[in-house]
Structure 1
Amino acid sequence: MGQNSVRGEEARGARASRADQLGWDESLYANGGRPPAVDASAGAGGDGGGHRRGGSRKRAKRGKYRILKWVAAVVSLLILGTAGAGYAYYRHLNGNIKKDALNLGESKAPKAKANAAGQTPMNILLIGSDARDSKENQKLGGAKSTFGGVPLADVQMLLHVSADRSNMSVVSMPRDTLVKIPKCTDKKGKVYPASTQFHLTNESLGRGGPGCTVATWESITNIHIDHFMMIDFSGVVSMADAIGGVPVCVDANVYSHTRDGHGSGLRLEEGTTSIKGKQALQWLRTRYGFKDGTDLARAEAQHQYMSSMVRQLRKGTKLTNPGQLMDLAEAATDALTVDDGLGTVKKLYDLGEDLKKVPTKRISMTTMPNMYSQDPNFKGKVVPIPGDAEKLWSMVRDDVPLDGKPAAKKKVEQVSKDPAAPVADTGVLVRNGTGTDSEAPAEGRATAVASVLQAAGYTRAKADHTLNPQAKTVINFPSADLEGDAQALAKALGIPLSSVKKSTDVSGVTLTVGADWRKGDAYPKADDKTPSTASLLNGEKVSCMHVQPGYSF
């Protein structure tokens, strides 16, 4: 933080003395740097002779011509000098940005397809590291026993920007969520084997870097992540200072401190306070003192902080003063570790321009639906709520707005020109794909759905006992001459045509019953409403954190 302040002062000092540094040549002007005076006596006195008047006009023209040349020369030097200094500063800011590999895993989630207008959604994983790897981070992080230890991803938020840039969603995953971390290989070739037992999701950062946290998210959600941005303790402090403070609110006086020394140390009076520096970090790390004192309360406080920060930046108060803007640029580039796709000032600027298109009222903050684990070995840790969590991930994958407002343009389903065969002549293989990372496959689903189809006239439908986990129910067909049959099956079951896909992995029309259809004879109707367990918060709404009893003063 101190280093950033010094840089800012040096930059301001450079700006103050830049006139002579950029080639301002005082010798271009006579009379102490002022342009030479034109002879005003011509025509205002003297003998009034034509020759004298003509000479004065010539001298005046020559004087004006010289002034124009001098002005042009000075402007040229200033432009060239400023361009040189600007490029040097641009390179300096680029040098501030730290870069790391995007994904250290072996398998990648499929990229989202473009919509009819050729636009694609964008997913950015935001990571807050608790690394105590510098004097500044050690000073802010405390806990000397952790100095130099393996960093943890204590904050994890997926930022999803819709394809048409009309809306944005931020989904948090609690740091103590139980997950199985995939195999990760770091940049030096060190291999971290896939975990066979459950670990906390924040441990993924210590297995090669942020690229392993990205790989873990993709394996859990099947959402392709385009970029990541990581920030540490000192980065949070310097950014909060550069912004000029972020307004937050509590509904009572709060002091996050326990008798045995736990707590962030946050101390605020009831109402709204603009926080920055160490106090901003304390807010983001507070668990004891908010609501029920859990990580879920901490995630809600982080959402409120992020919403308020966005509102502050949208006001543009820091963008009108060049000095403050440079301080903000300095802090932002120095605070971040990003993937190569965001590794320059221009790329970060372009990203910012993209994000600015989204109205604040269309920004939704949510948390992965979760509940406490029933495993006695993981008391107090959380797992996804079956059904609700997958529904939230599915909405993000399908670019469905979490605020409940309709998308600007709905996808147009392409109906096949291939005629469908009679249902009695259509062979259908039914597979059970209802298993997930947190749930075993629903027993007998392939047989049950095959019976439903037989009753509907698909007498050649039969169950296949191959287990093929799928988040959503899909119908696959191997060749164009079976596309009409596959779409007719989808229509009969009420499955959207977007779930009918050509695949060389099947030899006939194949229905894989996914995790979205674990029970019942009828395929569940589409529900575009965000699960209530996701704790939805609108980015424009100003709210106050509820203070936990016993932590007031």
Structure 2
Amino acid sequence: MSDPWDGPVGQASRKRTAQVPGQRATRSGGRGSSGGDGTRPSGGRAAATRAAASPSRGGPQSRRRAPRTGRGRRFLRVAGFCLSALIVITAGAGWWFYQHLNGNIHSVALDGKGGTEKADAFGRTPINLLVMGSDGRTSEADCALGGGCSKTGVQSGSNADVEMVVHIAADRSNATVMSIPRDTMTRIPACEDNEDGRSTNGYYGQINSALQYGPACQVATVHRLTGIPVDHFVKLDFSGVVKMSDAVGGVSVCVSDDVYDTYSHLKLSRGAHTLKGVAALEFVRSRHGFGDGSDLGRTVSQHIFLSSMIRKFKSAGTLTDPSAIYALADAATKALTVDDGLGSVRKLVSLADDVNKVPANRMTFTTMQTAQDPHDEDRVVVGQGARTLFSSIADDRSLTTGSGKRSAAASATATATDPVVPTSRIAVTVENGTTVTGRAADIASALTGQGFSSATTTANAPSAATTTTLTYGAGQKAKAEAVAKALGLSDSRLRQGSGQGLTLVIGGDWPTGTSFPGATSSPTSADMKAAVSHTNAQTADQAHTCAKVSPYKTVTLNGVPMTPTQAYAAARGKPDSDA
């Protein structure tokens, strides 16, 4: 062991006690001086002077004063002690800070319910993260922010009103953020919440309701719908949004016109604003203020908000200010619920570093394509092009070019060249032509889980089949192609028959899995165009994009329907959200 200031222990102590020969004899020579042998010379000052001048004592050199090392060593010891104390205190504060932040984090196990991401040819693994915004009023703070607790009080359940799949490429060169509208109808799998014990055997319902059975159930539902492996999640509640926006010092946004959403209470004049706290929450919650007044319009304004926040994170002022970093870290760890794979400060910092590596002009924000649910005009289902968008993310394909310009996919026009066939209206009869029990049910579940009609049925094939085929009736080819694409079947497997509808016979060449063996994922230009058709794709570097205020009468004021801009003019007495 060594002493940090005086060298190896033992050597330092010997150096301090060793005496320079004659050292004490050469001191001032006044009263109290002693000879080199420890005896006092006689004769007072004269004798001392003669003794000092004597050749036997070294002559004139003996009159030089020896260096006073005692005080210097004492000073070094004191300074060393202070430095040691400073190091211990600093290290202790750092350790306390680290433990404090770790203690803030609430983590939940996923247990592999979201699938596993595939490494690329160099062994690098992409990151697929589900970001959830909870509408839960599970605390008094969230009741105050979200409202709706006057009759029910603090509630126990919550829905995922915001769902975004965040994909960070394996080489960290690009990222895609895909929103899934909360009104999407899909198949919820069997789930059990490990924390409160709530469970379900599975049902067909609104996608955001899966969160009632825990974050892991929401992840499993998104994985089942999209086929995208999701092995991480981050969940925020109302107060979490407030804390995060405050911690970064506000988020800059722009609105295309005066807006007053009487439901979320967002009230802003036309132009640019910096939103903090409750105002930020009102903006990201507003679904009646933007677009067509639905959840689809809200996803676009949320992308504008997040793009601005990302630009703020990347700014030097945020990342180099120690107080800002502390406030951000403290707020983030208090505001988030994460999977146990992100359940430490070190892991969250690593995730933030991965996000920071991606240039803003190569972060693409999109919204999943939808079609109206044929059974409910207020709900949506997976639409044309969504499967291609899902596979682009799952296969780690970028929606931007290396230069940061939009790829052919991101530059696609909003008009699809192929006729739109809502998958929710495509029912398939799946027949098992193998000797494996349950094959038809497996494939049928995979189809309904991807948004195909719940009228899909199963049966045993009339006879054993060696090859898999999909037979379609007159005028049904487009529907058959949609099914084939979802399952990875090539066009060579399609057959036109004389009957009606679609019949898929599972042959002996497809004994396991829900994607046909050897299915290729190489995209064509048409595929990539379809991936972003109707997605409102934009990149995070677009700083001057304004949220488009709804031109429709989506809000009411004093019982009168009006547009958000009309409501702003009629509510002059109400202060703006950022006032």
- Whether TM exceeds 0.5 here: the answer is yes
Q: For structure 1, which runs of at least 5 residues remain unmatched after alignment?
A: 1-41, 258-262, 408-428, 444-459, 476-488, 491-502, 518-522
Alpha-carbon spacing, 1:86–1:511, altered in 2? closer, same or farther (3 Å): closer
Alpha-carbon spacing, 1:99–1:54, altered in 2? closer, same or farther (3 Å): same
How big is each residue's C-alpha offset from its partner over 1:291-329, in whole Å with a ceiling of 9 and x where there is no partner? 211111111111110000000010032233322221111
- Pairwise CA RMSD: 3.7
Per the TM alignment, residue 464 of structure 1 is displaced from its structure 2 partner at its CA by 5.1
Alpha-carbon spacing, 1:187–1:166, altered in 2? closer, same or farther (3 Å): same
Answer yes or no: is 1:439 the counterpart of 2:436: no
Answer yes or no: is 1:201 the counterpart of 2:198: no
- How many angstroms apart in 1 are the aligned matches of 2:141 and 2:453? 46
Match for residue 538 of structure 2?
Answer: 537
Match for residue 91 of structure 2?
Answer: 83
- How many angstroms apart in 2 are the aligned matches of 1:461 and 1:441? 28
Per the TM alignment, residue 284 of structure 1 is displaced from its structure 2 partner at its CA by 0.4
Answer yes or no: is 1:241 the counterpart of 2:246: yes
Match for residue 396 of structure 1?
Answer: 393
Work out which of the residue numbers 367, 377, 380 in structure 2 matches 1:379: 377
Per the TM alignment, residue 180 of structure 1 is displaced from its structure 2 partner at its CA by 1.3
Per the TM alignment, residue 403 of structure 1 is displaced from its structure 2 partner at its CA by 2.5
- How many angstroms apart in 1 are the aligned matches of 2:327 and 2:284? 22
Per the TM alignment, residue 148 of structure 1 is displaced from its structure 2 partner at its CA by 2.9
Answer yes or no: is 1:302 the counterpart of 2:302: yes
Answer yes or no: is 1:68 the counterpart of 2:70: no
Contact 1:474–1:513, Cα closer than 8 Å, also in 2:
no
Aligned length in residues: 423
Per the TM alignment, residue 187 of structure 1 is displaced from its structure 2 partner at its CA by 1.1
Match for residue 313 of structure 2?
Answer: 313
Per the TM alignment, residue 506 of structure 1 is displaced from its structure 2 partner at its CA by 4.8
Return the index of the structure with the highest Cα Rg.
2
Contact 1:104–1:186, Cα closer than 8 Å, also in 2:
no
Alpha-carbon spacing, 1:436–1:242, altered in 2? closer, same or farther (3 Å): same
Q: How does 1:280-359 map to 2 (within 5 A)?
A: 280-359=280-359
- How many angstroms apart in 2 are the aligned matches of 1:299 and 1:511? 33
Per the TM alignment, residue 81 of structure 1 is displaced from its structure 2 partner at its CA by 1.7
Work out which of the residue numbers 99, 104, 116 in structure 1 matches 2:107: 99
Per the TM alignment, residue 72 of structure 1 is displaced from its structure 2 partner at its CA by 2.2
- How many angstroms apart in 2 are the aligned matches of 1:527 and 1:283? 34
Match for residue 210 of structure 1?
Answer: 215
- How many angstroms apart in 2 are the aligned matches of 1:319 and 1:76? 29
Per the TM alignment, residue 116 of structure 1 is displaced from its structure 2 partner at its CA by 1.7
- How many angstroms apart in 1 are the aligned matches of 2:288 and 2:196? 40
Alpha-carbon spacing, 1:231–1:440, altered in 2? closer, same or farther (3 Å): closer
Match for residue 178 of structure 2?
Answer: 171
Contact 2:391–2:521, Cα closer than 8 Å, also in 1:
no
Match for residue 118 of structure 1?
Answer: 123
Contact 2:395–2:521, Cα closer than 8 Å, also in 1:
no
How big is each residue's C-alpha offset from its partner over 1:444-485, in whole Å with a ceiling of 9 and x where there is no partner? xxxxxxxxxxxxxxxx9965579998735269xxxxxxxxxx
Per the TM alignment, residue 66 of structure 1 is displaced from its structure 2 partner at its CA by 3.0
Alpha-carbon spacing, 1:462–1:126, altered in 2? closer, same or farther (3 Å): closer
Per the TM alignment, residue 118 of structure 1 is displaced from its structure 2 partner at its CA by 1.0
Per the TM alignment, residue 537 of structure 1 is displaced from its structure 2 partner at its CA by 1.1
Match for residue 410 of structure 1?
Answer: none
Alpha-carbon spacing, 1:346–1:188, altered in 2? closer, same or farther (3 Å): closer
Could you tell me which amino acid in structure 1 is paired with residue 131 of structure 2? L
Work out which of the residue numbers 546, 549, 553 in structure 1 matches 2:548: 546
Contact 2:307–2:540, Cα closer than 8 Å, also in 1:
yes
Match for residue 137 of structure 1?
Answer: 142
Secondary structure of the corresponding residue to residue 74 of structure 2: helix
Per the TM alignment, residue 240 of structure 1 is displaced from its structure 2 partner at its CA by 0.5
Secondary structure of the corresponding residue to residue 154 of structure 1: strand
Could you tell me which amino acid in structure 2 is paired with residue 264 of structure 1? S
Could you tell me which amino acid in structure 1 is paired with residue 382 of structure 2? P
Work out which of the residue numbers 488, 493, 509 in structure 2 matches 1:473: 488
Match for residue 23 of structure 1?
Answer: none
Match for residue 453 of structure 1?
Answer: none
Alpha-carbon spacing, 1:337–1:218, altered in 2? closer, same or farther (3 Å): same
- How many angstroms apart in 1 are the aligned matches of 2:526 and 2:206? 32
How big is each residue's C-alpha offset from its partner over 1:257-283, in whole Å with a ceiling of 9 and x where there is no partner? 2xxxxx111111211111000000000
Match for residue 182 of structure 1?
Answer: 189
- How many angstroms apart in 2 are the aligned matches of 1:371 and 1:465? 24
Per the TM alignment, residue 526 of structure 1 is displaced from its structure 2 partner at its CA by 6.7
TM (normalized to structure 2)?
A: 0.66
Contact 2:361–2:540, Cα closer than 8 Å, also in 1:
yes
Q: How does 1:217-296 map to 2 (within 5 A)?
A: 217-257=222-262, 263-296=263-296
Contact 1:221–1:393, Cα closer than 8 Å, also in 2:
yes
Match for residue 502 of structure 2?
Answer: none
Could you tell me which amino acid in structure 1 is paired with residue 539 of structure 2? N
Could you tell me which amino acid in structure 1 is paired with residue 85 of structure 2? L
- How many angstroms apart in 1 are the aligned matches of 2:533 and 2:80? 66
Secondary structure of the corresponding residue to residue 230 of structure 1: strand
Alpha-carbon spacing, 1:283–1:525, altered in 2? closer, same or farther (3 Å): closer
How big is each residue's C-alpha offset from its partner over 1:397-444, in whole Å with a ceiling of 9 and x where there is no partner? 11111225599xxxxxxxxxxxxxxxxxxxxx999979832336999x
Alpha-carbon spacing, 1:515–1:95, altered in 2? closer, same or farther (3 Å): same
How big is each residue's C-alpha offset from its partner over 1:162-199, in whole Å with a ceiling of 9 and x where there is no partner? 11110011000001111110000221584623334x31
Match for residue 413 of structure 2?
Answer: none
Contact 2:468–2:510, Cα closer than 8 Å, also in 1:
no
